[in-house]
Amino acid sequence: MGSSILKRHRKKTILLAVAFVGVFTISTDYNKYFEIAKNLEIFANLYKELNTSYVDEVEPAQLMRTGIDAMLESLDPYTNYISEAEMEGFRLQITGKYGGIGAGIRKSKDDDYVVITDPYEGFPAQKSGLQAGDMIISIAGKSAKGKSTKEVSEVLKGSPGEEVSVTIRRPGKTGDFDVALTREEVKIPNVPYSGMVGDNTAYITLTTFSERAGKNVADALEKLQKDNDVKSIILDLRGNGGGLLNEAINLSNIFIPKGEEVVTTRSRNIERDRTFKTLNKPVTEELPLAILIDGSSASASEIVAGVIQDFDRGVLVGVESYGKGLVQNTRDVGYGSKLKLTTAKYYIPSGRCIQAVNYKDGKSQNIKDSLHVEFKTRNGRTVLDGSGIAPDVEVKIPALSNLSRTLLTKNLIFDYATAYKLKTPTIAPAAEYKFTEADFKDFERFLSTHDYSYETKSEKELEQLETKAKDENYYDAVKTDLEAMKRKIVEDKKKDLYKYKDQITDLLKREIVGRYYFQKGGIEVGLSNDPDIEEALNILNDANRYKSILK
């Protein structure tokens, strides 16, 4: 009897608790939605008052865009509003396609005009004879002076089949001239180069995870296998900032079996969590594989690199990747615009998330080393979360010297390549091209008529020391020594051109070869002097070392 009463009492208590939770949940939801409605009304009233009563005329669309951007800046850098006018650029990221003339552009040295940097092979700009270094003076009869690259790009883009006329100013040519271009659908290849390095190693570079990335890599590999005795593979993901999640799964599937888990996405709503597995038979499960990564390899690149590492399927070579473990999706928000927002984090097969930065109020906060958790690969190797993908073999490439960086930022490498092309109609094939000692002397003469001054870290620190010495009344005592050190640095800087000759020559070769053989040529000429590729080949050609790394 007492037991029966106790059960009824417990049941009543549970029902009351459930009812309380239900009421609390309804109350919480009501408060939340009331806050949303209240603040939307406040925002609408404020917006209306600014439009009607502010002392100066305001542009409503620009005012709203400022508010939207400021709101999204309080979240993370990957949550963005994409207006209808920006949709063409967004589609380019996803599909690699757009309607236009097919050329890379940037501001000129004096910032007055935009210059063409890279006509894409086989598209209107290149077929019409436009060259790197050409300055765009006007478009459709309207001056392009002072226009940003974004503004010029938007005017040059348009529906395939439409014609656009541009006025060009070319270095070394007297007088401006007009070029009529017919826009086409421009498809930027996500696999710009594939070929053999060494005797039996296939090399494939992937620049972005846009549509068909996985299939394009698979096709390139199968063609190389058909035409060559391929015994190992190098997949280059350096500089690849990611893209479509499904393409990361497709690319992983080239190397790992059907039915294997590649990535799991987890959001705040457990019902939306998803696990993605490989769906097809791989192209190769056995061939030794090296994947190249660097600090700009992010998102989908990190999924592929992480999956290969977690399965102990290949060796990662380079430096630690970027550390982006966030998933973005898009939502239509009306009038042809979209919201791209972060909806989840992704987790690779070992269970780790490689997101290296947390965001609070729009500000980044690096995850502390003490919070990194250890996970295990299939073979039991230890890997960490919260810090990007660490390579199995690290290759530290020397940083660009101050001089090399200055020659690039002041466009002197670019301008010399333009001048070189004007006086040299043809060069040897990309893989055979040599930048000779006479060429380097010519470059030295070119620099003698241009400003390439730069300040070293030592000079900056000497200036700071001089300021402190003056503040503390020690300057007279150290003045002679400071002046002597300054003179010594200036004398040594004069030798920098030859001190960093090899580095500068590499930059010049890539830029020059790109003028004749476009993007493929620039990549090919870089293969012969690439520390990452050299190390990858050493590993792939040493079976014992390759296996020991994966153990």
At 161-188, the pLDDT tens digits run 999 999 999 998 999 999 999 999 999 9
Nearest-angstrom CA–CA distance, 156 and 127: 16
What is the average pLDDT score of the chain?
Answer: 90
pLDDT tens digits, one per residue of 292-325: 999 999 999 999 999 999 999 999 999 999 999 9
- Pairing type for strands 289-293 and 315-318 reads parallel
pLDDT confidence of residue 32 = 78
Strand, coil or helix: 129: coil
Q: How are strands ordered across the β-sheet holding 393-394? A: 193-197, 201-205, 232-236, 289-293, 315-318, 393-394
Q: Which residue has the higher pLDDT, 546 or 58?
A: 546
Q: What DSSP state is assigned to residue 361?
A: T
Contact yes or no for 403/409 (Cβ under 8 A): no
Distances from the Cα of 460 to the Cαs of 199, 272, 454, 456, 489, in angstroms? 48, 53, 11, 6, 11
Any idea which of 52-61, 139-148, 453-462 has the lowest mean pLDDT? 453-462
Crossing angle of helices 402-409/501-526, nearest 10°?
60
The sign of the CA dihedral 231, 236, 237, 238 is positive
Q: What is the pLDDT of residue 30?
A: 63
pLDDT for 179-229, tens place per residue? 999 999 999 999 999 999 989 999 999 999 999 999 999 999 999 999 999
pTM for the structure as a whole: 0.86
- Paired sense of beta strands 337-347 and 289-293, if any: unpaired
Nearest Cα to 85, choosing from 337, 443, 403?
A: 337
In sequence order, what are the beta bridge partners of 163?
A: 182
Query: pLDDT at position 530, please?
Result: 94
Residues linked to residue 360 through DSSP beta bridges, in sequence order = 363
The catalytic residue positions are: 299, 310, 324
Give pLDDT tens digits for 326-367.
999 999 999 999 999 999 999 999 999 999 888 777 777 777
Q: Please report the pLDDT score of residue 461 as a whole number.
A: 83
User: Rounded mean pLDDT of 390-395?
Assistant: 97
Which pLDDT score is estimated for 18? 47
